[in-house]
Structure 1
Amino acid sequence: MEALVYKDKKMLRRGYTTGTCAALAAQGAVSFLISGIWPETAELMTPAGQMVRVPLMEKKAGNGAASCAVKKDAGDDPDVTDGLLVFAQARFLPENTGNARVIIDGGEGVGRVTKAGLDQPVGAAAINSVPRRMIETAVAEVLEEAGLDRTVKILIFVPGGEKTAEKTFNPVLGITGGISILGTSGIVEPMSEEALIETIRAHMQVLRSEGRRFAAAVPGNMGERFLWSYLEREGIGKIPAVVCSNFVGRTLDMAGELGFSGLLLAGHLGKLVKLGCGIMNTHSKEGDGRMETLVACALRAGAGTGTLKRIQEANTTEQALEELKAAGILKETMGALLERMDWYMRRRVPETLETGILVFDAAGTLLGATENARDLLVLAAGEEPAGEDGPDNGI
């Protein structure tokens, strides 16, 4: 495997996914069932076209089954599953079990899907499609090499997976009891954005599968807290909220693609002000423009030269807010800012998707809202999700 990649001015080490770990462990366990000899390592070609070879660990056999583990290595990516042992237990089944040659299920530490809209159906183990194909291919190759036409049951389990899953989005997505076995390329690219973007998409797909047409998006925990406090103050019920991180533009794209009717964005000024100059990825490496945008809006609100200069030189948006308050033009400036933010958001989405915005300061005080913001929240709170009891996935 090509181990290093240049990212953000650094050479970082690649890793491999839980799906790759599961397939390698399955390969090793089936190899023992066939030969009675444990291989020291297992190797496979990932969907990304990179070969991965790893040592097999925790090898055990008995009662017609064999199991072994592969240690998850996320490289230099800050992945909470890094270091977990991903086990595969293999067992031959009678020949009359049907046409399936490889039957895959999840055990301890592997989540179960409880909501529609995800990669796997409700009730299935949260082992995604690509890892399933990787497991099937790895096992089939071992069987073919041995000249065997047998049905094999593979059980994937991850000790500690349930605890680790609490640090992931699985509880929000409706995956209970453990982590997901993931990966589309088989390789973990350090500091990759795609995994988080796919998590956002998965959450939105769950909401649409419940029949919801309205939702909120927040950049993170701060925006979520502020939105919750606002809903409580306004007497509006709970609503589903998608954590979009810095990916405001991609989240808007998904909302349009999935057929939402309304999406409200809520968060702190320091993050959302960037939308006022058209920056839809709010990470600092993608651009700033915070003070420049506030200067332009303050100018429209009638700010004098001294105020504009002090805003431009401010280190934080909170400091800039103090200047706006002192000049007595905070409300007017926020109104101008919301107009700009609203224009850029509406420009991004189809006409069928209505967008709204709530902006707060660091204390959670509402600085401004688009005219339709409260109406969108009321519509979202009034929706009954599909299902027997209406699952509560609100914030």
Structure 2
Amino acid sequence: MAKELRSGYTTGACAAAGVKAALLFAAGESWQEIELTALDGTQLVIPVKAVERTEAGLTAEVVKFSGDDPDITNGVSVFTTVRRLEQEQPGIVFRAGEGIGTVTKPGLSVPVGEPSINPGPRQLIRNVVAEVLGTDQVALMVTIAIPAGVELARQTLNPILGVEGGISVIGTTGVLRPMSEEGFKNSLVPQIDVARAAGFADLIFVPGKIGERIATGWGLPPAAMVQTSNFIGFMLEAAAERKVQRVLLFGHIGKLSKVAAGVFYTHNRIADGRLETLAAYGAAEGLPQAEVCKLLAATTTEDALVVLQQAGLQEKVCQRLAERASLRAERYLFQKLKVGTVMVTLAGELLGMDATAREIGEGFGWKMPQ
């Protein structure tokens, strides 16, 4: 019998619970366990570790609980400080404390210059203020701090997205359900919005650090690059929805040869037909049966390339694979956008590219290795 996975609560829910606890503390009421209604109606009960008066206001500490989701913020302390403001204009002002990033690039759900506290958490906080005080139209400053966020931000896409100084306070509803793959996929999408907001009509999709490193070395602009991880198909669909005109797939042949075979989720435990794809295209170009068997017995894609190279077929096969990857990607998207493909080795050697890839690259002014 499968174990039922436990849900948790987001950093945004922690912050909202901290605000409610601080307001209850000020009113002399019990604050140690907070009942919170998530934005999807789910009822959460969140324990509060501490509330104390500080020079900055009333500060509550809530420890993040992620349930069975492998969230990097599980167990960290979320500090929320609430302070009344003496101003005529009512409303809640949000501030970034230690470990919370600030938005520096357009395209995200929060304007440039604002603390990276997403709309969901902001609404949760407004809701608890209205619940306790009867209205959210009060002059309050809410400062959120996650001291561990300074280091944790290095494990996120925040530096790429232009969120500087820490992590983001996130959560669509406040409930953290153990769907880490879905959450990770969705966390990749804002890269597209940021690149579009920076003025790029064409984008460069790199499955990982190898492609990013080599593409940067070729002079392609990092601001136009989008990391897709294994979710190439999902990210292509997201680009099409956002009216991106052209996408350049740029990466190692081991990953992009899977796209040539019509595989758009490229995790090696799900789809590892790299050698089979190279063998099929090698055979189609005349690779002898004995060499096909040798290729299939190779340990890595790079080893398989040696077989093709010795047979004088590496250039032909890789060129065909690049063309095929673009064709399959455009077909996958029902021709909603144009795709070009560049396949490289680990060392950055060009193996194959199609005409669309060359057009996009030249438009970016790339400097290909000679």
Q: Same fold, TM exceeding 0.5?
A: yes
> In the alignment, which residue of structure 2 is the partner of 1:123?
113
Q: Is 1:273 paired with 2:257?
A: yes
Structure 2 Cα separation of the partners of residues 122 and 238 of structure 1: 19
**Does the CA contact (< 8 Å) of 1:238 and 1:381 recur in 2?**
no
Given candidates 138, 159, 162, the residue that maps to 2:150 is: 162
> In the alignment, which residue of structure 2 is the partner of 1:386?
none
**Does the CA contact (< 8 Å) of 2:34 and 2:47 recur in 1?**
yes
Structure 2 Cα separation of the partners of residues 26 and 371 of structure 1: 56
> In the alignment, which residue of structure 2 is the partner of 1:312?
296
1:243 is displaced (CA, Å) by 0.8
After TM superposition, the score normalised by the length of structure 2 is 0.89
Given candidates 74, 78, 83, the residue that maps to 2:75 is: 83
- Name the SS of the counterpart of 1:181 in structure 2: coil
Given candidates 284, 309, 334, the residue that maps to 2:318 is: 334
**Does the CA contact (< 8 Å) of 1:215 and 1:263 recur in 2?**
yes
Structure 1 segment 22-33 matched on structure 2, within 5 A: 22-33=15-26
- Name the SS of the counterpart of 1:66 in structure 2: strand
Tell me the matched-pair count.
366
Query: Per the alignment, do residues 62 and 243 of structure 1 end up closer, same or farther by CA in structure 2, a change over 3 Å counting?
Result: closer
Structure 1 Cα separation of the partners of residues 7 and 270 of structure 2: 23
Seq. identity, %: 36
> In the alignment, which residue of structure 2 is the partner of 1:14?
7
1:189 is displaced (CA, Å) by 3.3
Structure 2 Cα separation of the partners of residues 92 and 220 of structure 1: 46
1:180 is displaced (CA, Å) by 0.6
**Does the CA contact (< 8 Å) of 2:285 and 2:317 recur in 1?**
yes
Structure 2 Cα separation of the partners of residues 330 and 381 of structure 1: 27
Given candidates 194, 205, 227, the residue that maps to 2:193 is: 205
Structure 2 Cα separation of the partners of residues 64 and 287 of structure 1: 53
- Name the SS of the counterpart of 1:77 in structure 2: coil
Query: Per the alignment, do residues 148 and 296 of structure 1 end up closer, same or farther by CA in structure 2, a change over 3 Å counting?
Result: closer
**Does the CA contact (< 8 Å) of 2:248 and 2:357 recur in 1?**
yes
> In the alignment, which residue of structure 2 is the partner of 1:393?
none
1:64 is displaced (CA, Å) by 8.5
**Does the CA contact (< 8 Å) of 2:195 and 2:223 recur in 1?**
no
> In the alignment, which residue of structure 2 is the partner of 1:45?
37
Query: Structure 2: any 5+ residue segments left out of the alignment?
Result: none
Q: Is 1:369 paired with 2:344?
A: no
- Name the SS of the counterpart of 1:179 in structure 2: coil
Query: Per the alignment, do residues 219 and 148 of structure 1 end up closer, same or farther by CA in structure 2, a change over 3 Å counting?
Result: closer
Given candidates 227, 247, 270, the residue that maps to 2:215 is: 227
Query: Structure 1: any 5+ residue segments left out of the alignment?
Result: 383-395
Query: Per the alignment, do residues 342 and 32 of structure 1 end up closer, same or farther by CA in structure 2, a change over 3 Å counting?
Result: same
Query: Per the alignment, do residues 238 and 19 of structure 1 end up closer, same or farther by CA in structure 2, a change over 3 Å counting?
Result: closer
Structure 2 Cα separation of the partners of residues 289 and 143 of structure 1: 60
1:191 is displaced (CA, Å) by 5.4
CA distances 1:113-139 after superposition (whole Å, capped 9, x unpaired): 111111111121111111111111122
1:320 is displaced (CA, Å) by 2.0
CA distances 1:171-194 after superposition (whole Å, capped 9, x unpaired): 211111221100113233335223
1:297 is displaced (CA, Å) by 0.7
Query: Per the alignment, do residues 149 and 169 of structure 1 end up closer, same or farther by CA in structure 2, a change over 3 Å counting?
Result: closer
Structure 2 Cα separation of the partners of residues 220 and 175 of structure 1: 20
> In the alignment, which residue of structure 2 is the partner of 1:392?
none
1:149 is displaced (CA, Å) by 8.0
Structure 1 letter corresponding to 2:45: R
Compute the RMSD of aligned alpha carbons: 2.7
**Does the CA contact (< 8 Å) of 1:131 and 1:181 recur in 2?**
yes
**Does the CA contact (< 8 Å) of 2:90 and 2:137 recur in 1?**
no
Structure 1 Cα separation of the partners of residues 361 and 334 of structure 2: 20
> In the alignment, which residue of structure 2 is the partner of 1:60?
52
**Does the CA contact (< 8 Å) of 1:33 and 1:90 recur in 2?**
no
Q: Is 1:97 paired with 2:85?
A: no
**Does the CA contact (< 8 Å) of 2:149 and 2:166 recur in 1?**
yes
Structure 2 Cα separation of the partners of residues 172 and 203 of structure 1: 7
